């Protein structure tokens, strides 16, 4: 896809995404208010867990996954013909994200998320006990997961497509759990982590949901998955760079969190494959400590940043090439191209 076709109608595209964001935020606020009120009536002592789900969900987030879902629908039919279903399923994805973030932050020991305290930290403070706070946070995540499924399969989804939407949503959740398991175990299979943990629920999953909602064809799915797979890897590579070099004020989470946790992320693996032996030993020694600035210097010295940036560019180009398929409506392809650029160039 040429740069001209990518930028054609950019203002309109941004308006579409901003319109969806407003719709999703309004719907999320409404259903979370209802959930909090119901918890207050039926389980007053448990209401704080729902409050935390509400606060984290509404505290920010790029709403990139809903945009990806909308663009996939637009590749098949005009998205506004399915507006209510798109909004509800998008809300389901956002609540799935909330569930994953709550659990992920506890597993990683992170204290900051979206510019505020993580849920397990907030609940530990609320209850005056670290273990109780962690337990309540796990349950808060489970509650968000249940809400996610309820919204993803709302009455607004066309009846003949509910089963396909359900299968796409379940597949996305199963894959990301497998990917997170590999990540927690610091598995050496980094390609599987990228594909399952991030590629699935950031790109391929939302696109699969959009395709299912719209009743897309096999030819359209082939083009969409050819776009989604390389973009999912590119997104994770960008995430790994942000995890190593991101500024807390900009990212809304702990600075250099991946280096503090000694994660075998893409830049760390790059460096350990290419640095001289003495530098490799030094990098291993400073990973997982507060000497993350030195770790960053060693990553830069290894050429990890430039090398991974090149790989992101290659993957983005491969994703964009898939959008040339005549099976896809041009309006949707342009939206996906815009999202690819946003995801590959992001800073947070």
The DSSP secondary structure of 206-264, one letter per residue, reads HHHHHHHHHT--HHHHHHHHHHHHHHHHHHHHHHHHHHHH--HHHHSS-TTHHHHTT--
What residues does 112 pair with on adjacent strands?
Answer: 117
For the segment 129-176, what is each residue's pLDDT rounded down to a tens digit?
999 999 999 999 999 999 999 999 999 999 999 999 999 999 999 999
Per-residue confidence (pLDDT) for residue 10, from 0 to 100: 46
Nearest by Cα to 182 from 196, 171, 169: 196
For the segment 172-195, what is each residue's pLDDT rounded down to a tens digit?
999 999 999 998 888 888 888 888
Do the beta carbons of residue 117 and residue 111 sit within 8 Å? yes
Distance (Å, whole) CA 102 – CA 242: 19
- With bands split at pLDDT 50, 70 and 90, how would you rate the model's confidence at 5? very low
Do the beta carbons of residue 219 and residue 327 sit within 8 Å? yes
Distance (Å, whole) CA 101 – CA 144: 10
Do the beta carbons of residue 341 and residue 13 sit within 8 Å? no
Averaged pLDDT, 83-100: 96
Burial class (CB in 10 A: 0-12, 13-18, 19+), 90: buried
| Domains of the chain from N-terminus onward | 3-345 (1.10.600.10)
State the distance between the two ends of the chain, measured CA to CA, in whole angstroms: 26
Nearest by Cα to 19 from 76, 78, 56, 63: 63
Please tell me the pTM assigned to this model.
0.86
Distance (Å, whole) CA 267 – CA 256: 12
């Amino acid at each position: 896809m040429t740069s001209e076709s990518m930028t054609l109608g950019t203002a309109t595209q941004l308006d579409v995404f901003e319109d969806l964001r407003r719709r999703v935020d309004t719907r999320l606020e409404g259903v979370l208010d209802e959930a909090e009120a119901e918890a207050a009536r039926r389980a007053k002592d448990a209401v704080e867990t729902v409050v935390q789900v509400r606060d984290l969900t509404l505290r920010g987030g790029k709403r990139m996954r809903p945009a990806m879902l909308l663009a996939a629908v637009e590749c098949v039919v005009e998205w506004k013909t399915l507006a209510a279903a798109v909004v509800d399923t998008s809300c389901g994805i956002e609540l799935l994200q909330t569930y994953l973030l709550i659990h992920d932050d506890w597993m990683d020991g992170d204290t900051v998320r979206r510019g505020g305290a993580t849920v397990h930290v907030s609940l530990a403070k609320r209850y005056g006990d670290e273990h109780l706070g962690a337990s309540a946070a796990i349950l808060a995540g489970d509650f968000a997961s249940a809400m996610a499924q309820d919204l993803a399969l709302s009455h607004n989804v066309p009846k003949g497509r509910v089963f396909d939407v359900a299968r796409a949503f379940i597949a996305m959740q199963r894959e990301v759990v497998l990917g997170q398991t590999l990540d927690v175990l610091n598995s050496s299979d980094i390609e599987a982590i990228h594909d399952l943990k991030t590629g699935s629920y950031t790109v391929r999953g939302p696109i699969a949901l959009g395709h299912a909602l719209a009743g897309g064809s096999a030819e359209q799915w082939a083009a969409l998955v050819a776009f989604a797979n390389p973009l999912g890897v590119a997104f994770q590579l960008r995430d790994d760079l942000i995890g190593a070099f991101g500024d807390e004020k900009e990212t809304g989470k702990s600075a250099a969190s991946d280096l503090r946790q000694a994660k075998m992320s893409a830049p760390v693996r790059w460096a350990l494959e290419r640095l001289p032996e003495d530098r490799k030993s030094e990098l291993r020694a400073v990973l997982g400590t507060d000497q993350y600035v030195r770790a960053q210097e060693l990553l830069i010295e290894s050429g990890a940043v430039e090398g991974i940036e090149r790989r992101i560019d290659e993957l983005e180009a491969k994703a964009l090439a898939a959008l040339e398929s005549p099976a896809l409506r041009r309006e949707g392809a342009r939206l996906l191209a815009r999202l690819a650029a946003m995801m590959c160039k992001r800073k947070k």
